[in-house]
């Protein structure tokens, strides 16, 4: 994902499924909301030979139905689906 991704436009309703693999099972969490912003953002962690020597994460900010702002760190276990307008 680039610094400002064009893959998910602001206002697009998405469903994000995130999974955490464990030794004997997998935790899954589903979050649904409207995209506020989707970008790469650096963390406070140091990482040699990366841009600005920082660790960068793909982040998606969603506005949930109750108004809460959720910031999701996307990784290889994240699945993002666009929710059709007639289902949202």
Tens place of pLDDT per residue across the chain (88 aa) = 444 445 789 999 999 999 999 999 999 999 999 999 998 877 776 666 666 666 778 999 999 999 999 999 999 999 999 999 877 6
What's the pLDDT at 1? Answer: 44
Let me know: does 34 contact 62? Beta carbons within 8 Å. yes
Helix (H, G, I), strand (E, B) or coil at 24: coil
Q: pTM of the entire structure?
A: 0.77
What's the pLDDT at 85? Answer: 80
What's the pLDDT at 52? Answer: 67
CB atoms within 10 A of CB 2: 10
What is the phi/psi pair of residue 86, to 5°? -75, -10
What sign has the CA pseudo-torsion 27, 78, 40, 47?
Answer: positive
What's the pLDDT at 41? Answer: 79
């Amino acid at each position: 994902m680039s610094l400002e991704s064009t893959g998910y436009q602001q206002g697009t309703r998405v469903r994000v499924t995130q999974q955490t693999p464990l030794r004997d099972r997998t935790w899954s969490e589903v979050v649904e909301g409207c995209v506020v912003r989707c970008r790469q953002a650096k963390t406070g962690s140091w990482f040699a030979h990366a841009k600005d020597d920082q660790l960068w994460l793909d982040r998606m900010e969603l506005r949930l139905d109750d108004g809460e702002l959720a910031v999701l760190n996307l990784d290889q276990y994240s699945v993002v689906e666009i929710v059709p307008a007639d289902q949202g």
